[in-house]
Structure 1
Amino acid sequence: MKNRNKPKVTLLVGKVACGKTTYAREQQKKGGNVFLSLDELQLGVFGQNPTREQLDSSYDGCESYLKRMALSFLSNNVNVFLDWGFWSRNSRIETQKYFSDQGYEVSQIYFDVPFSVRLQRNQARNSGSDLHSFKIEEKDLALFDSFFEQPNADDEYTVVCA
Structure 2
Amino acid sequence: MPTAHLVFGFLGSGKTTLAKRLELQHNAVRFTPDEWMARLFGEDPPADTFQHRATAILDIMQPIWARCLSLGLNVVLDYGLWSRAERDRVRAVVADLGATSVLWAVSCSDGEARKRIALRNEAAHRSLYIAPATFDLLKARVEPLGVDEPHAVA
After TM superposition, is the score higher than 0.5?
yes
Equivalences for 1:4-153 in 2 at 5 Å?
6-30=1-25, 32-131=27-126, 133-153=127-147
Amino acid at match of 2:147: A
Measured after TM superposition, the shift of residue 31 of structure 1 is 6.1
* Fraction of identical pairs, as percent: 23
Shift in CA distance, 129/77, structure 1 to aligned 2, threshold 3 Å = farther
| Cα root mean square deviation, aligned | 1.6
5+ residue gaps in structure 1?
1-5
- Comparing 70-79 with 13-22, which one deviates more in the overlay? 70-79
* TM, length-normalised to structure 1: 0.86
Structure 2 CA distance for aligned equivalents of residues 31 and 10 of structure 1: 9
1:157 aligns with 2:151: yes
| Number of residue-to-residue matches in the alignment | 154
Cα pair distance change 1:49/1:142, threshold 3 Å = closer
TM-score normalised by structure 2 residue count: 0.90
Change in 2 beyond 3 A, CA 1:45/1:149: same
Please list every run of at least 4 consecutive aligned residues from structure 1 whose deviation after the TM superposition is greater than 6 angstroms. Answer: none
